[in-house]
Amino acid sequence: MNDNCMLAFLNALKENNTKEWMSANKSWQKEANADFEKLLCRILSELSAAGCPMSGGHDVKDFIMRYTRDTRFSHDKSPYHASLRAHLSPAGRLPIPVGFYIHLEPGNSFLGGGLFASQFKDATSMIRNHIVSHGEQWEAILREPAFAEKFVLIGEKLKNVPREYDAALSVSEYLKHKSWAIEYPVSDEELDHAELFAQNAAAVFLLMKPFNDFLNQALEGFHMPERG
């Protein structure tokens, strides 16, 4: 038996993606939000118990991304994301330092790790340089059997290795990346029981941790750009 209303609400939002519908269903939205917050608290608790605290003193709401979409440059003018999304990191929802990403969407839910944001050129350079100087460590992380069984490296890539790097390097393929990320798919059925899902999600995130740790070591000293 399903013990939360998250996917039911998101399915309805997908079919009725208007400001009028959202306004008329505020109580349902609040219920779905509350279920998501409880789920995140369970995952954070599981991670903390495993020696991987991620809260950084934040309230759980600080990890959650907004429903509202930026439609200025999109052909899709739907006002809302029909998904529940959060980034668990000591810096909250900010993409750096990298943390654990949760994306709940009917038929397209997944857990993620790494850097999804390719727009930060300084961060990209820092990671590339770290891969060059710590290539064996990087490849060992990606080839570790338990990691390789569950994850495949994804992320926006260039066609060629950037000119400032030697294309003959064993890690040259990874230098084409502008972002470095991994994802683990989640079925709708897995979300029916939030407590069990939280335990499984924490276990998946712990497998991602060496990957995230490597990227965060590369990003030491990086500062998010100030908004103008």
Question: What's the rounded mean pLDDT across residues 139-164?
Answer: 97
CA angle, corner 197, sides to 196 and 200, nearest 5? 90
Per-residue pLDDT at 173 exceeds 90: yes
Q: Which of 2-11, 78-87, 101-110, 195-204 has the lowest mean pLDDT?
A: 2-11
User: What are phi and psi for residue 184, nearest 5 degrees?
Assistant: -130, 115
Token digits of residue 84: 């529940």
CB 39 within 8 A of CB 63: no
Per-residue pLDDT at 1 exceeds 80: no
Looking at residue 225, the DSSP 8-state letter turns out to be P
CB 13 within 8 A of CB 69: no
Mean pLDDT of the chain: 94
| Closest CA relative to residue 82, chosen from 149, 15, 19 | 15
- The 10 Å Cβ neighbour count of residue 148 is 12
Residues 6+ apart with CB under 8 A from 16: none
Mind giving me the DSSP string for 204-220?
A: HHHHHHHHHHHHHHHTT
The residue that leads in pLDDT, 161 or 72, is 161
The tens digit of pLDDT for each residue in 91-130 reads 999 999 999 999 999 999 999 999 988 889 999 999 999 9
- The 10 Å Cβ neighbour count of residue 217 is 14
Q: Tell me the three-class secondary structure of 32-90, residue by residue.
A: HHHHHHHHHHHHHHHHHHCCCCCCCCCCHHHHECCCECCCCCCCCCCCECCCEEEEECC
CB 115 within 8 A of CB 216: no
